[in-house]
Amino acid sequence: MAFAWSYSAYKEFDQCARKYHLIKIEKKYKPDQNAPALVYGRKLHKEIENYLLHGEPLGEIASPYEKHVTRLKNVTGQLIVEKKMGLTKAFEPCDFFGKNVWWRGAPDILILDEDKGVARVLDWKTNKNANYADPDQLELMAMAIFSYYPKIHTVKGVLLFLKVDEAVPKTFTRGQLNDIKSKWMGRVGRITKAIDTDVWNPTQGPLCKFCPVSNKDCEYAP
């Protein structure tokens, strides 16, 4: 069975294989798209996108973070917002919705300076705590950028936690690319094994109370 994955999908599988299977594979349940945090995040991203690409004023959601957003107007390089990127299993660039897509991702902000061989990638975070920041997301973005842009030799990534005004930086070089590929092939191999064996063991944890899966399908459901 062919499947495409993303950072968020892998994190969901890592959190609980049962939940991943029922939501991503069987599509028996759907996350609550109207959850306040999701609605807030969508509005924030849209307001920033409209400001950067169309010159619209920042709205009520994004205006408190004006100092971070306006800096992007003066960056050196090509500014790209929400670029949809896809990779095949051979790590070749492909269409985001292509039949051969294996991985999907879309950085919130991508700044390319191909003359200097440097790319900057930024992801807006609305969490109130940066202590559990996961740079794996930036690593996957770097993996894709190196594949898409042969002239880029360095990717400087940042997770920017807007509400607490904290930045978590991480830099990657093209020399790390093979190790990054190998690491993620191994990690995603866990999903492939679960698909092949059809074994989707649940994991009990504090997030179970927020899970849309019912107790008919999981013994840990509330």
Could you tell me the pTM of the whole model? 0.92
Give the pLDDT score at 58. Answer: 94
Give the pLDDT score at 34. Answer: 81
222 residues of the chain, pLDDT tens digit each: 578 999 999 999 999 999 999 999 999 998 777 888 889 999 999 999 999 999 999 999 999 999 999 999 888 899 999 999 999 999 999 999 999 999 999 999 999 999 999 999 999 999 888 888 999 999 999 999 999 999 999 999 999 999 999 999 999 999 999 999 999 999 999 999 999 999 999 999 998 988 999 989 999 988
Give the pLDDT score at 31. Answer: 78
The Cα–Cα gap between 80 and 141 comes to 13
